[in-house]
Structure 1
Amino acid sequence: MSRLVTLAFFAAVSTISLAGSGHADSLIMNTAPEIEKTLSNYNRPFAVRYLEDYDNSKFDNTTGIDAEAARSNEGVKHIRASIKANKRLAEKLKSRGVDVKDIVDAEQAADGSIIFSVN
């Protein structure tokens, strides 16, 4: 029984450790300089999330808690500039009906794909 408890303990600690490192990586890769660098040469699949009311989107009505803080106006300008510098990405977004001036955020997922938030 002691071995089973010890094994379960180490399995739980390993799982928690791995989950924490993946989350930390995703936080770092979504900081302003990192996401801008990624967008400037990004050529992979992406998703588009349409925001109904961007000004009030910082509050998530489904859970009643504040969602992740929105990017500053300056941060949004830098994201848009990085996308415009990447002509291939700008064209792909345009072909999906997304105008770069309507993008208000970009987040990189753990799998490397990007989610663009559009107002």
Structure 2
Amino acid sequence: MSRFGQFAVVALVSSLAFAGVSRADSLDMNNGAKIEKTLQTFSSNFDVRDINDYANYKDQPEDSDAAQPRTDAGVQHIQASIKENKDLVRRLGERGVKIDDVVNAEQAADGSMTFWVR
């Protein structure tokens, strides 16, 4: 195999490996305990969206990309985690968000957060 062919194969394998890692990381960071722990110390940029607008917000239409709805207990855990972060409570309040209206939170790969409210 030529050097060019070897380089192409290595580049392809490397690309697939990195793509798999970043996707797995982004999906895992929004699961239960991890997102709750993140919310307790979260201090980065965030966006607030209405849960009724979720379908319009998604970049990709596949069902596998959709965040799983939180159970009632999951919503309570997210709200409790937010309440532990006084700075985040203040920042959300400045945007008119009541913590009891937050029903989900999703962290993006860049570290920003989207809070879904009812």
Which band: TM-score by shorter chain? 0.7 to 0.9
Give the equivalent residue in structure 2 for 1:112: 111
The Cα shift of 1:23 comes to 1.4
Give the equivalent residue in structure 2 for 1:11: 11
TM-score, normalising length from structure 1?
0.83
Q: 1:64 to 1:28 in 2, by over 3 A?
A: closer
> Larger % of helix: which?
2
Equivalent residue pairs, number:
114
The equivalences for 1:63-74 within 5 A come to 63=61, 65=63, 67-74=66-73
Task: Report Cα offsets for 1:30-78 as digits up to 9, x if no partner.
Answer: 1111111111111111111222267xx6xx8x83746332111110100
Structure 2 residue 23 is the aligned partner of structure 1 residue 20: no
**Identity within the alignment, %:** 47
Structure 2 residue 83 is the aligned partner of structure 1 residue 88: no
Q: 1:23 to 1:64 in 2, by over 3 A?
A: closer
Unaligned runs of 5+ in 2: none
Give the equivalent residue in structure 2 for 1:103: 102
SS at match of 1:52: helix
Give the equivalent residue in structure 2 for 1:47: 47
Deviation larger for 11-20 or 23-32: 23-32
Amino acid at match of 1:41: T
Amino acid at match of 2:47: A
Q: 1:87 to 1:11 in 2, by over 3 A?
A: same
The Cα shift of 1:83 comes to 0.6
Amino acid at match of 1:85: E
SS at match of 2:78: helix
Residues of 2 paired with 1:64 and 1:107: CA distance? 17
TM-score, normalising length from structure 2?
0.83
SS at match of 1:48: strand
Residues of 1 paired with 2:27 and 2:117: CA distance? 20
Residues of 2 paired with 1:65 and 1:82: CA distance? 27
Residues of 1 paired with 2:53 and 2:46: CA distance? 22
